[in-house]
């Protein structure tokens, strides 16, 4: 079945929110799904759409100093391990590069071992930043340089 990775619409993210556990399990991250990000950073917010619905998505943007930052990425529970997460990051990278990104960045909670393994597999450096989310609230920070396109 064909999967298209395309810019996300607000209605796509509303659909994701309705099926939230399929993407995030027991963790409730609904409040992080800011629709304003999708409205204002449309070309770097992506959904992977197939005949059976939204298989995965990514919400990201490029900062003024050239960091392609992914705020959220998730693939649906029945699509994991098929390369879709990698493909979403790849599509984001190309979109971010067009906007002048020279590095990539994302964060995850220190307990999210799957996310750490996934991002390391994609070539990111991972380090724990102790007070990233406020005093005593560490996060894992992923970074990767983004060379100019050949
Ligand atoms: C993390 C997540 C996005 C990965 O998506 P995915 O579609 O399963 O990833 P892919 O199939 O593209 O995997 C890419 C590589 O990462 C590795 N990988 C992915 N998840 C992994 C895991 N849990 N443990 C170890 N390795 C993992 C794969 O083995 C693969 O390596 P390879 O290309 O060398 O074979 C997905 O598991 C998910 O949605 N998790 C819940 C939401 C979440 O935690 N998001 C990240 C926090 S921001």
Q: What is the CATH number for 123?
A: 3.40.630.30
Q: How far, in Å, is the centroid of ligand 1 from the Cα of 71?
A: 16
Q: Tell me if 82 CB under 6 Å of ligand 1.
A: yes
Protein residue with least CA distance to atom 16, ligand 1: 118
Tokens 């099926």 found at: 19
**Residue 150 belongs to some domain of the structure:** no
Q: How far, in Å, is the centroid of ligand 1 from the Cα of 122?
A: 9
89: pLDDT confidence band, cut at 50, 70 and 90?
very high
Protein residue with least CA distance to atom 18, ligand 1: 118
pLDDT score recorded for residue 149:
73
**Residue 80 belongs to some domain of the structure:** yes
Q: Choose among 93, 101, 84: nearest CA to 123.
A: 93
- Strands 103-108, 67-75: pairing is parallel
Each residue's pLDDT tens digit, 116-130: 999 999 999 999 999
Q: How far, in Å, is the centroid of ligand 1 from the Cα of 131?
A: 26
**Residue 50 belongs to some domain of the structure:** yes
pTM: 0.97
Q: Tell me if 139 CB under 6 Å of ligand 1.
A: no
pLDDT score recorded for residue 1:
75
Q: Choose among 20, 106, 94: nearest CA to 60.
A: 106
Each residue's pLDDT tens digit, 136-146: 999 999 999 99
Tell me which residue range forms the domain holding 78. Answer: 4-145
pLDDT score recorded for residue 148:
76
- Strands 4-7, 125-129: pairing is unpaired
Best mutation site among 58, 74, 105, 114 for ligand 1 pocket (most ligand atoms within 8 Å of CB): 114
State the total domains in the chain: 1
């Amino acid at each position: 079945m064909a999967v298209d990775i395309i810019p996300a619409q607000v209605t796509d993210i509303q659909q994701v929110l309705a099926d939230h556990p399929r993407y995030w399990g027991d963790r409730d991250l609904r409040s992080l799904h800011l629709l304003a990000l999708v409205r204002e950073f449309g070309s770097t917010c992506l959904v992977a759409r197939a005949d059976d619905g939204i298989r995965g998505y990514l919400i990201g943007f490029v900062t003024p100093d050239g960091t392609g930052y992914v705020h959220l990425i998730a693939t649906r529970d029945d699509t994991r391990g098929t390369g879709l997460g990698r493909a979403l990051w790849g599509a984001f990278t190309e979109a971010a590069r067009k906007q002048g990104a020279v590095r990539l960045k994302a964060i995850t909670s220190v307990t999210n071992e799957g996310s750490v393994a996934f991002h390391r597999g994609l070539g990111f450096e991972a380090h724990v930043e102790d007070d990233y989310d406020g005093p005593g609230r560490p996060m894992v920070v992923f970074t990767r340089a983004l060379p100019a396109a050949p």
